[in-house]
Amino acid sequence: MKFGVITFPGSNCDQDMIYVLESTMGYKVERLWHKEADLKGVDFVILPGGFSFGDYLRSGAIANYSPIMNEVQKHAAKGGYVMGICNGFQILCESKLLPGTLLHNNNQKFTCKNVFLKADNNSSIVNQGISTDDILKIPIAHAEGRYFAPEDTLSKIVHNDQVSYRYCDVDGNITDESNPNGSLENIAGVCNEGRNVFGIMPHPERAADLTLGNTDGLKIFESMLGLVGA
């Protein structure tokens, strides 16, 4: 598997993502620049977190018009893997590669803290290797992370098992108190119908290093690479 991480102007989690894939997991990673219309033959494209173009407009709204996004669209249409984390998720929603959108947190504040998640099902590569009883501690860091979709879209993605992860409490209960931003049905991550495009608001790359005392996020990458069984 060859990964590519896109850097948009204002991306600030690109190097963290590259570090996990390259230094921790030992995979080849291509650095992709938003102005280039070339994915350099990668199998898996990652859109990292950050504040693309400053996010002064709607998060992700301008990044969607970067030249590389045409290539990402084509890659996804051919069934190629694409994953967006945080700002990457916002960009993928803007580009309609993923259903729904991400609104301002209901507390109207940027919030950075550890939260708990669990896989909703095992139907895609981002959660295939993770038991739905596993509780993962993974940080969030966003001001616009409240997942929203119209009722019909929501019922469709729930029905289709396109909800990958939900926020829960330390014991795994999906409650209002454990929902850090007001997301519909505690949704933290979704995928497209084809199960090749994924978005997640929490940052698994920030929980993938023993030096930092938390490796729960590594499980998500291991799941993606088929390194673990459910």
Partner 1 sequence: METTENHLAEASLETAMELGLLKEEFELIIEILGRTPNFTEVSIYSVMWSEHCSYKNSIKWLKTLPKEGPHMLAEAGEENAGLVDIGDGLACAFKIESHNHPSALEPYQGAATGVGGINRDIFTMGARPIAQLNSLRFGNIELDRTKWLVKGVVKGIGDYGNSFGIPVVGGELFFDECYNTNPLVNAMSAGIMKTGGMISATSYGLGNPVFIVGSSTGKDGIHGAAFASKDIHEDSMEDLPAVQVGDPFQEKLLLEASLELTEIDAIIGMQDMGAAGITCSTSEMSGKEGFGMIIDLDKVPCRQEGMLPFEILLSESQERMLVVVKKGREAEVEAIFDKWDLNCKQIGEVTEGGRLEYFAKGIKVANVPAESLILGGGAPVYEREYKEPAYYQENKKFSIDSVEEPKDLRAVAKFLWTHPNIASKKWVMEQYDSMVGTINMSTNRPTDAGVVNIKGTDKALVFTVDCNARYVHADPEKGCAIAVAEAARNIVCSGGEPSAITNCLNFGNPYNPEVYWQFVGAIKGMSAACLKFKTPVTGGNVSFYNQSAQSGVDVPVFPTPTIGMMGIMPSKKNITTLAFQAEGDLIYLLGGAKNDINSSEYLYAYHKEKNSPAPYFDLDTEYELQDTLKSLIKKGLTVSAHDCADGGLFMTLMESAMPNNLGFEVSTDANFRKDAYLFGEAQSRVVVSVKAENKEKFETLAKEVGFTNLGSVKGKAMRIDGESFGTVAAAKDEFDSALENYLIKNN
Please report how close the Cβ of residue 117 comes to partner 1 at its closest, in angstroms.
15
Q: Residue 147: is it exposed, middle or buried by C-beta count within 10 angstroms (0-12/13-18/19+)? A: buried
Q: At 23, list the tokens.
A: 């230094």
Please report how close the Cβ of residue 21 comes to partner 1 at its closest, in angstroms.
12
Please report how close the Cβ of residue 140 comes to partner 1 at its closest, in angstroms.
9
Q: Give catalytic status of residue 203 as yes or no.
A: yes
Nearer to partner 1, 36 or 185 (CB): 36
Closest CA to 197 of 116, 104, 113, 125: 125
Please report how close the Cβ of residue 212 comes to partner 1 at its closest, in angstroms.
6
Contact 92, 199 (CB under 8 A): yes
CA dihedral 155, 159, 160, 162 (to 10 degrees): 60
- Helix (H) or strand (E) holding 167, with range, is strand 163-168
Q: At 174, list the tokens.
A: 């999906």
Nearer to partner 1, 106 or 155 (CB): 106
Q: How far apart are CA 12 and CA 14, in angstroms?
A: 6
Nearer to partner 1, 57 or 176 (CB): 57
| Site residues (vs partner 1, CB under 8 A) | 9-10, 12-13, 15-16, 19-20, 23, 35, 49-51, 53-56, 109-114, 139, 141, 143, 203, 205-206, 208-209, 211-214
Nearer to partner 1, 97 or 188 (CB): 188
The residue type of 146 is R
Q: Give catalytic status of residue 86 as yes or no.
A: yes
The active-site residue out of 86, 93, 168, 191 is 86
Catalytic residue numbers?
86, 203, 205
